[in-house]
Amino acid sequence: MDPNDVKNDTSRNMKKYTLGVVVIVFGFLLLLVNTGILPWDFKHVIFSWQMLLIGIGIISLLNSESRTPGTILILIGTIFIIPRIFDLSFNVWHLFWPVLLIAIGVLILTRRIPRQQWRSPKKNIESESLDEGYIHEENIFSGGKQRFMHQVFRGGHINCIFGGSEVDLSQSTLAEGVSELEINAIFGGVTLIVPADWKIQSKMTSILGGFSDKRAYIREASDSSRILIIKGSTIFGGGEIKNF
């Protein structure tokens, strides 16, 4: 069996089990409320947009290579659900931005800093990075435009939180076989510029957001075995694929 098929099956099973566990937990909580074991007011906590963000964050943490999106979602959901559970004497907004900034700072300090993946068009520098051909980009309260200059694109990940990114892949070709690009856009957006003959499969999950293929024209791929799978999530954000 192809190793990529094994990897995809494992990923699908993990997502299925995670979603199943989350649904079962919510079901038990609802059962406790309906039987009077938990106060009736607790139902408004279980079925709230704050709890939805926490649930999505947990699923993202367990099924994504990047922990940043899931952590941010859990943080936002937790901060805004606290006033529903406890009677606070101050406005929760006074906690939101300080705690969010502290969490982002911790993530920046603890994340792995990848080797340089981008080569300026004005320079002719050959990268010897072991990750050559991959994107590893994090945009938090920031953004920008980048041109990918490696000849072969193999995948990677892009995370945009309260920020945006435009990535130009038009000068590259897809690696042989199946390549995966994970995109997570939370209160942000991602734009990919790709060649017209790339074969792309989108497996994005969108919640109050969207991700679409807006290429003006698409040519038949010369090698149909070269496929780019785009996975991840757009939450209060969006993304698009286009070409020149």
Note if the pTM is more than 0.85: no
Q: How confident is the model over 19-46, as a mean pLDDT?
A: 80
Give the domain ranges of the chain. 3-110, 134-242
Find, among 146, 144, 203, 135, the residue nearest to 175 by Cα.
135
Angstrom CA distances, 150 to 74, 121, 173, 208, stand at: 36, 11, 9, 34
Average pLDDT score over the chain:
76
Which residues in 204-240 are b (16+ Cβ under 10 Å) and which e?
A: bbbeebebeeebeebeebeeeebbbbbbbbbbbbbbb
- The residue among 39, 60, 69 whose CA lies nearest residue 187 is 69
Evaluate whether 207 touches 233 at the Cβ level (below 8 Å). Answer: yes
> What is the per-residue pLDDT for 63?
66
DSSP state at residue 64: -
Judged by average pLDDT, the poorest of 19-23, 26-30, 123-127, 157-161 is: 123-127
pLDDT at 60 exceeding the cut of 60: yes
pLDDT digits (tens, 9 = 90+) for 110-156: 655 444 334 333 333 333 333 678 888 888 777 888 888 788 898 89
pLDDT at residue 77 above 80? yes
Residues 146, 195 contacting (CB under 8 angstroms) = no
In sequence order, what are the residues at sequence separation of 6 or more whose Cβ sits closer than 8 angstroms to the Cβ of residue 47?
none
Q: Is the Cβ–Cβ distance between 68 and 184 less than 8 Å?
A: yes
CA distance 45 to 80: 11
- Per-residue confidence band for 10, with pLDDT thresholds at 50, 70 and 90: low
Confidence label for 191 from pLDDT (cuts 50, 70 and 90)? very high
What is the reported pLDDT for 66? Answer: 60
pLDDT of residue 193: 92
